[in-house]
Structure formats: C-alpha cells, structure tokens
C-alpha cells in the first residue's frame, strides 16, 4: 500500500519524515520527489479553472473604469467635456495598468517566472502495510500535508 502526500518545502516535511522513521518505516519505504517549477507566462484572460491571479485584463479594466469616472467628473470643468475626458481616462488608465503590471511582473519574477519564490513542492511517497495506514495518515496530517492520497496495491 502506498500513501502519497504533497508538501511545500518546509520544516513540516522534515518533521514528518523524522516521525515516520521513528514509527518504524525505513528509509527504503519513504521517497521524496521534488517537483520542478515550470515557467508560466502571463495570461491575458484568466479563466475560473486555472486562475492564478496574473490575468491582465480584469485589473486593467477596473483601473481604467476608475480613471474614467474621475476624468468624467473633472470633464465637466475642463475644456472638451465629460465624454471626451471619460474616454481619455479609460484609455490612459487601462494602458497605465497594463504597463505597470508588465513591468512589475518582470521585476518580481525575473527570468524564471514564479519559480523564484523559494517554495518548491515535494511529493512524499510512503510504502506501508495496511495495519500502519492510520498511523501514517495521522503523522502526515499532523505535519500539515497539503493533500494525502492512498494507492492500494
């Protein structure tokens, strides 16, 4: 029987492995696989299924709307009228947000995309007997495993 758990690289992972070894599972029965981070590109439109908070359209349209409202309000006083200044505010606000988010994304992530965060994912695969199943699950959940799965073979 195999138990598969995912962790972020942290002290909790080290504590879980140490407690599993104290439980009697040898190093031959515990396998930790670090996952390599894939370079992600900025999505223009973030969908509900794979949203990661880096969509460009939503934030830029919201900022464009705010600047449009402000420009429309002041457009009653400025030469040209509220409609012209509202459109100018919409286009300038949207462009400003897009430019700022692209520059910020390049500075924050650099060449490796989101991989520079320093928090890698680790998959922990444990081979155990069915009698040890509940004890191993308790150890993993006590040490804050992100997900736990069981494969019966």
Give the model's pLDDT for residue 121. Answer: 86
Decide: 14 and 153 in contact? Cβ < 8 Å: no
- Summarised one tens digit per residue, pLDDT across range 95-147 is 998 888 878 777 665 554 445 555 578 899 999 998 999 999 999 999 888 88
- Which pLDDT score, from 0 to 100, does residue 90 have? 93
104/115 Cα distance (integer angstroms): 16
pTM of the full structure: 0.53
Using CA atoms, how far residue 129 sits from 24, 28, 32, 102, 111, in Å, is 11, 14, 18, 51, 45
Cα 47 from Cα 35, distance rounded (Å): 24
Mean pLDDT of 85-91: 93
User: What per-residue confidence (pLDDT) applies to 101?
Assistant: 81
pLDDT per position as a tens digit, 28-86:
899 999 887 665 555 555 554 445 455 677 788 888 999 999 999 999 988 989 999 99
21 pLDDT more than 80: yes
How much is the pLDDT for 87? 94
């Amino acid at each position: 029987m195999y138990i598969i758990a995912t962790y972020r690289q942290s002290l909790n992972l080290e504590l879980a492995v140490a407690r599993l070894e104290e439980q009697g599972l040898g190093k031959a029965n515990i396998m930790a696989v670090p996952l390599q981070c894939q370079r992600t590109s900025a999505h223009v439109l973030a969908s509900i299924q794979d949203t990661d908070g880096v969509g460009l359209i939503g934030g830029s349209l919201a900022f464009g709307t705010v600047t449009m409202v402000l420009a429309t309000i002041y457009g009653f006083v400025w030469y040209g009228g509220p409609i012209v200044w509202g459109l100018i505010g919409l286009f300038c606000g949207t462009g400003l947000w897009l430019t700022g988010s692209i520059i910020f994304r390049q500075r924050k992530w650099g060449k490796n995309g989101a991989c520079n965060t320093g928090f890698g994912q680790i998959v922990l695969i444990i081979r155990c007997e069915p009698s040890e199943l509940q004890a191993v699950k308790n150890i993993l959940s006590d040490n804050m495993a992100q997900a736990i799965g069981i494969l019966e073979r």
